[in-house]
Structure 1
Amino acid sequence: MKVFSQSMSIIENAIQQTSTKQKVISQNIANVDTPGYKAKDVSFKSAFKSAISNVNTYKTDERHFDITPSNLGTTVFTKKNVTYNESGNSVDMDQEMSELAANQIQYNALVDRMSSKFNGLENVIKGGR
């Protein structure tokens, strides 16, 4: 018998990905004044691949999209097509702060969702009391 549904592992993976994104953004912000530093970003493709591979999906209508984990991978990469300042640094502080706020909102939503899953499990264990 499975105590936790597949959604718990999906949420856990998503929380790990937002944590990685937080670290990369923090590195970018910390190196805003480092000459020659190239800003980095995170690709969440492997988390998506992992989540999709753990979920059994089927189409109920031929117009639905197929969900397949083809050619996906997780990477931390150097951002391309960015403007460099006179020291060769490519960190845009406004963009980093915006991404930091968005990532924090996503993290909070995931933690809230996981908390509600545990609250539901606790409710079942206590017999609805």
Structure 2
Amino acid sequence: MPLFNNTFQVLNRSLDYASLKNQTISNNIANVDTPNYKAKNVEFKNVLNQAQSSMEANRTHQKHLPFHSNNGSSQFQVVTSQDTTYNHNGNNVDVDKEMTELAKNQIYYQALVDRINGKFNSLKTVIRGGQ
């Protein structure tokens, strides 16, 4: 039986995703004037599909269909957008879009950190006997 129902593992994985996304966005912004640079993005869709396929539901009847079990490790993918060009030098980085994504990702990251802090504070309260 996993300790804390895998909450810390999920939060840790989410922080990994947010960190990689922040690095990717920062790299795009840093290369805004680099000729022929193509913007990159972190793909999460395949990771979500893999996570959903590993869920197990409670079957209350033998004719209910089970979820497929897939316990393979999932990785986030950084993909390059090749289909657009915004600048005359072949670059496709849109600074306004990247700054918006960066702000959204920072809010997401901070929410994850706040949630982890709340979990640790709850544990401290339990360890101290409710004080």
Q: Normalised by the size of structure 1, how large is the TM-score? A: 0.79
SS at match of 1:28: helix
CA RMSD of aligned residues (A): 3.0
2:57 equivalent in structure 1: 58
Q: Normalised by the size of structure 2, how large is the TM-score? A: 0.78
SS at match of 2:36: coil
Give how far 1:44 is off.
1.8
Distance 1:28 1:59 in 2: 44
Contact 1:10 1:51 in 2 (8 A): no
Stretches of 4+ aligned residues off by more than 4 angstroms:
66-69
SS at match of 1:90: coil
- Opposite residue 7 of structure 1, the aligned amino acid is T
Unaligned runs of 5+ in 2: 61-66
Give per-residue Cα distances to partners, 1:1-37, cap 9 Å, x unaligned.
7554311100000000000000000000000010110
2:115 equivalent in structure 1: 113
2:28 equivalent in structure 1: 28
- Opposite residue 109 of structure 1, the aligned amino acid is A
Aligned length: 124
Unaligned runs of 5+ in 1: none
2:63 equivalent in structure 1: none
Q: Which structure has the greater CA radius of gyration?
A: 2
**Is 2:122 the partner of 1:123?**
no
Distance 1:110 1:52 in 2: 24
Give how far 1:58 is off.
2.2
